[in-house]
A and B are shown apart, each in its own frame.
Chain A
Amino acid sequence: GAVVSQHPSRVICKSGTSVKIECRSLDFQATTMFWYRQFPKQSLMLMATSNEGSKATYEQGVEKDKFLINHASLTLSTLTVTSAHPEDSSFYICSARGVPDNEQFFGPGTRLTVL
């Protein structure tokens, strides 16, 4: 199957700093990438949909100025958590969707801890 990587896998930062998470599709071109957040013992919640070359579409309740998404190429999307706070601590997972399948391939996730 297709491979999606995420970097870093774990990050610990101080409150008020910004953190960038990269999501890469390694062996296919992803027209669309999705960013999810998962809190302990909860399911994945879609944060935003990222299409190459256009602005991301954010789900209701997700602050677009806080969670900056850039999809500069067909293989790379980045999520930047700006001015992170402890409540932003979560497991962030990206997925990539190729064409023509509906299947989404998930990255391994990034564990963010904000102190």
Chain B
Amino acid sequence: GQNIDQPTEMTATEGAIVQINCTYQTSGFNGLFWYQQHAGEAPTFLSYNVLDGLEEKGRFSSFLSRSKGYSYLLLKELQMKDSASYLCAVVSDDYKLSFGAGTTVTVRA
């Protein structure tokens, strides 16, 4: 089976940095996605990691360590609009996505 863990909630101040961790134990691995989801909307793509290391894309960065079954999403210079749920999703051998429960990030002024 698939087991994907991420914190339930995080709160941070506008302009700050927040790191969302994700650990996984899955049957096979073909990459890890991070998605952002606002309430009542579908997820939107943030990043994809398949090799170890850090991928930087503007204010958002994502890191992967396959040997540790670990990833994190780093949000820098937080803005109010970043308040959302952030989903970690792992691609298994059959290319299915398994989602973590999501981390609700609240940005306060």
Chain B min CB distance to A5 (Å):
11
What B residues does A106 contact at CB under 8 A? 35, 42-44
Asked if B99 and A103 sit within 8 Å, CB to CB, the answer is no
Chain B min CB distance to A15 (Å):
23
Tell me the count of chain A residues lying within 8 A, CB to CB, of chain B: 22
Check A30 for interface membership: any CB of B closer than 8 A. no
State the majority secondary structure of interface residues on A. strand
| 30 intermolecular pairs with C-beta atoms under 8 Å apart | A1-B45, A32-B95, A34-B96, A34-B97, A42-B101, A43-B87, A43-B99, A43-B102, A44-B87, A45-B99, A46-B98, A49-B96, A91-B40, A93-B43, A95-B97, A97-B95, A102-B50, A102-B91, A102-B95, A103-B33, A103-B48, A104-B33, A105-B45, A106-B42, A106-B43, A106-B44, A108-B42, A109-B41, A109-B42, A111-B40
